[in-house]
Amino acid sequence: MSNQYHNRPTEQQRDRKPTTPAADWSKIQLDTPPPELFDTIAEQAAKIISTDRNTNKPSQLRGFYDEIINWDQRSRQWTPETFQEHLPLIKMLNAKVAYAKGRNLVDENYFSLIRHGLSQIKEKKHLHNFKLFLEAFHGFYKVERPKD
């Protein structure tokens, strides 16, 4: 007697999404930004992130960028000690992006981009450079996904 369910995918197989190749973000250096950081590196990041049309909606990404803008603006008034006190809250953005990834609102590449950037933030200049990188990224992202 043949089992009609034999060739059906398991629940785990059904839930598995096709993966895009992992991006290499090693050129994104916030301590001493390379001259191309806000130009060709940001453009390449936008091209990589824009390939998944089912996730990474501009409004979703803009929300995370807005949070970085907010932290950057607030930190301008802080002493280095105050910045260090707030750093765990800034890095909590990783958890927010992870939650969005878990809900399939952002993909692995965007998650790893944010994680890479936040991991380098040790002082105010790093946060500011990350904000500038994301500003450039969003400019190029609009070119890649103009209709969204």
Judge whether 43 lies within some domain. Answer: no
Q: Write the DSSP symbol of residue 104.
A: T
Judge whether 117 lies within some domain. Answer: yes
pLDDT of 14 reads 44
C-alpha distance from residue 117 to each of 10, 65, 133, 143, 148 (Å): 36, 12, 9, 22, 25
The total number of structural domains in the chain stands at 1
Judge whether 31 lies within some domain. Answer: no
Domain range for 68: 58-143
pLDDT of 21 reads 65
Segments of the chain with pLDDT less than 50: 2, 5, 9, 12-14, 16, 18
**Whole-prediction pTM:** 0.85
Judge whether 128 lies within some domain. Answer: yes
pLDDT of 20 reads 59
Judge whether 129 lies within some domain. Answer: yes
Judge whether 51 lies within some domain. Answer: no
Kindly report, residue by residue over 40-82, the tens digit of the pLDDT: 999 999 999 999 989 999 999 999 999 999 999 999 999 999 9
Judge whether 64 lies within some domain. Answer: yes
Backbone angles phi, psi at 32, to 5 degrees: -130, 90
In angstroms, rounded to a whole number, what is the distance separating the alpha carbons of residues 61 and 143? 15
